[in-house]
């Protein structure tokens, strides 16, 4: 996701609006939810959006995609949440204390925090949820477990160096007090607790293996509760009457259609069937962008955000276990042609992995460290391909397939890139679209050669781009294992010297992109979305994540 900033001076938030299109359907209610009080609302407070892919799960421990991220933020709340300026503000925790050495956080939970079934949210619910993430027997292994390695003892527990969870720095000292001890001072840790991996989970899930896919068993603590999930058709969440801040939630319901067709999404928007179209959960067809810019310019948001669109190589699969062949493929395309002729949304070509907008030492990391790790050079690319094939003993390159999740935009980009590879390298590359869940499973299982990917930060620090590719990362789905890279990231993780950290990140990016070409950057993201003019309060942050929970219909 998926998918979300902590350094306020470097955040970018757009407060945008969306509109009610048509009447909402009759509520499907259960004992988890309530439409709440919408007294005084001039119009029915129902928001309609589209998801381009169906989330595989709503288990905060297992989610790893932007679709689940958006919906989980509707249904859950962490210790803190982020305000319109991406600053941490009280969530379940009404206040907190941080020790002078930056190692101990004591969160004081509000006594009126409730689950959607009326149970109190307690510190033990957080301990239970975080242990699930770190537990080495959790199946499948939670992809974001490494995000908790900032906590003392967490990595040892996750790696089975100890089986005693009491050694981990996560303690419920009473029902309303959670004490967290870190390994090292981590300035962005507070904001990180707003990320869905850190959400509490109701302890009743122990008795129901299917709880995260069934509305009737989904007990949540956020502004909304899941009331409908019709596979392949729609998802609905309804205002949670037991949410502590219920009075500030104006919407009674959010309905989500499920369509991976950008053309369908745009036509639905034009017809008034949905109120928001585009990123991060959908798309506007690339070939429609010129017309959209002209006809819907007052409803169009087009703004650079801190994310990147890229292709990744499975470095364990032939022929991409050879770095020269990886470099040849990365160098043999024109990124400017892709953004000018295919995506047409003012994106910037990418030659590094960290996008603009991410904090550096004094300025943005990308300003302080240029993304000049490789060039587009067709002649040099051909030579590298020949050299790599010679090293491997190839007279003919093995068949190559590029996979992407079903999407009009991803398809057009894949076809454009494969055409460039054919023209510039003489290589035929098969392109294959896959349903979202299948695509994620194949990427995670290293069952591919080249795959589409994208990344937006979980917090505003370069670390969120580099800890992905360490040997221990649950999100490392390229098979890359490099001791020097691991050491650079581990040293940055432990260091309190920010200048040293940034130098380590520069070296890590050089190793990842220039030396090994594990990734093939394409472009830095631009948020492209359409918002109806009479819905207010939707927040789009510096990373492109969207918060619909405080929206309202005028």
pLDDT of residue 84: 83
- 157 and 75 both lie in a single domain: yes
Do the beta carbons of residue 224 and residue 240 sit within 8 Å?
Answer: yes
pLDDT tops 80 at residue 10: no
pLDDT of residue 86: 84
Tokens read off for 116: 């959607």
pLDDT tops 90 at residue 36: no
- 183 and 312 both lie in a single domain: no
Full residue range of the structural domain in which residue 203 is found: 8-253
pLDDT, tens only, 455-508 = 999 889 999 999 999 999 999 999 999 999 999 999 999 898 999 999 999 999
pLDDT of residue 38: 40
The whole-number average pLDDT for the span 242-249 is 97
Write a three-state SS string for 435-463: CHHHHHHHHHCCCCCEEEEEECCCCCCCH
539 falls within a domain: no
Indicate the range of 32-46, 208-222, 524-538 predicted with least confidence. Answer: 32-46
pLDDT of residue 233: 95
Do the beta carbons of residue 225 and residue 250 sit within 8 Å?
Answer: no
- 374 and 448 both lie in a single domain: yes
Domain count, the chain: 2
pLDDT of residue 458: 87
This prediction has a pTM of: 0.85
- 372 and 231 both lie in a single domain: no
- 461 and 399 both lie in a single domain: yes
534 falls within a domain: no
pLDDT, tens only, 101-117 = 999 999 999 999 999 99
Write a three-state SS string for 138-192: CCCCCCCHHHHHHECCHHHHHCCCCCCHHHCCEEEEECCEEEEEECCCCCCHHHH
The whole-number average pLDDT for the span 261-272 is 96
pLDDT tops 50 at residue 279: yes
2 falls within a domain: no
pLDDT of residue 42: 54
Last residue of a domain, one of 212, 235, 253: 253
Domain harbouring 452, CATH code: 3.10.105.10
pLDDT tops 70 at residue 14: no
pLDDT tops 80 at residue 21: no
């Amino acid at each position: 996701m998926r998918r979300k900033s902590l350094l306020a001076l470097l955040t970018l938030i757009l407060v945008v609006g969306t509109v009610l299109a048509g009447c909402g359907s009759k509520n499907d209610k259960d004992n988890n939810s309530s439409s709440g009080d919408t007294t005084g609302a001039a119009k029915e407070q129902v928001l309609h959006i589209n998801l381009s892919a169906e989330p595989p799960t709503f288990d905060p421990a297992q989610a790893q995609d932007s679709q689940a991220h958006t919906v989980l933020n509707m249904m859950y709340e962490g210790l803190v949440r982020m305000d319109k300026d991406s600053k941490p503000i009280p969530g379940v925790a009404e206040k907190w204390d941080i020790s002078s050495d930056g190692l101990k956080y004591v969160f004081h939970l509000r006594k009126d925090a409730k689950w959607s079934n009326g149970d109190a949210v307690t510190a033990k619910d957080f301990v239970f949820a975080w242990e699930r993430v770190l537990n080495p027997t959790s199946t499948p292994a939670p992809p974001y477990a490494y995000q908790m390695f900032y906590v003392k003892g967490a990595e040892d527990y996750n790696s089975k160096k100890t089986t005693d969870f009491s050694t981990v720095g996560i303690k419920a000292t009473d029902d309303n007090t959670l004490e967290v001890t870190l390994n090292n001072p981590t300035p962005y840790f507070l904001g990180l607790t707003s990320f869905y991996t850190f959400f509490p989970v109701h302890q009743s899930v122990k008795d129901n293996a299917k709880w995260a896919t069934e509305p009737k068993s989904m007990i949540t603590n956020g502004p909304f509760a899941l009331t409908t999930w019709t596979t392949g058709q729609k998802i609905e969440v309804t205002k949670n009457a037991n949410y502590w801040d219920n009075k500030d939630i104006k919407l009674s319901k959010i309905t989500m259609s499920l369509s991976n067709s950008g053309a369908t999404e745009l036509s639905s928007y034009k017809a008034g069937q949905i109120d928001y179209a585009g990123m991060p959960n959908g798309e506007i067809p690339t070939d429609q962008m010129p017309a959209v810019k002209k006809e819907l310019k007052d409803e169009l948001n087009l703004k650079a955000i801190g994310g990147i669109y890229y292709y990744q190589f499975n470095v364990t699969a032939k022929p991409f276990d050879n770095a020269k062949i990886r470099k040849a493929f990365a160098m043999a395309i024109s990124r400017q042609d892709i953004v000018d002729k295919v995506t047409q949304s003012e994106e910037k070509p990418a030659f590094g992995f960290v996008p603009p907008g991410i904090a550096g030492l004094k300025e943005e990391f990308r300003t302080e460290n240029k993304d000049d790790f490789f060039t587009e050079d067709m002649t040099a690319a051909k030579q590298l391909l020949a050299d790599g094939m010679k090293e491997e003993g190839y007279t003919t390159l093995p068949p190559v397939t590029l996979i992407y999740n079903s999407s009009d935009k991803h398809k057009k980009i894949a076809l454009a890139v494969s055409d460039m590879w054919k023209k510039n390298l003489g290589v035929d590359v098969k392109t294959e679209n896959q349903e979202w869940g299948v695509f994620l499973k194949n990427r995670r299982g290293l069952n591919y050669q080249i795959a589409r990917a994208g990344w937006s930060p979980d917090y505003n620090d370069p670390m969120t781009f580099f800890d992905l590719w360490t040997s221990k990362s649950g999100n490392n789905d390229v098979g890359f294992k490099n001791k020097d890279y691991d050491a650079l990231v581990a040293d940055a993780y432990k260091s309190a010297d920010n200048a040293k950290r940034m130098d380590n990140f520069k070296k890590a990016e050089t190793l990842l992109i220039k030396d090994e070409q594990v990734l093939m950057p394409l472009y830095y993201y631009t948020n492209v979305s359409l918002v109806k003019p009479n819905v207010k309060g939707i927040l789009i942050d510096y990373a492109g994540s969207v918060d619909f929970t405080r929206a309202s219909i005028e």
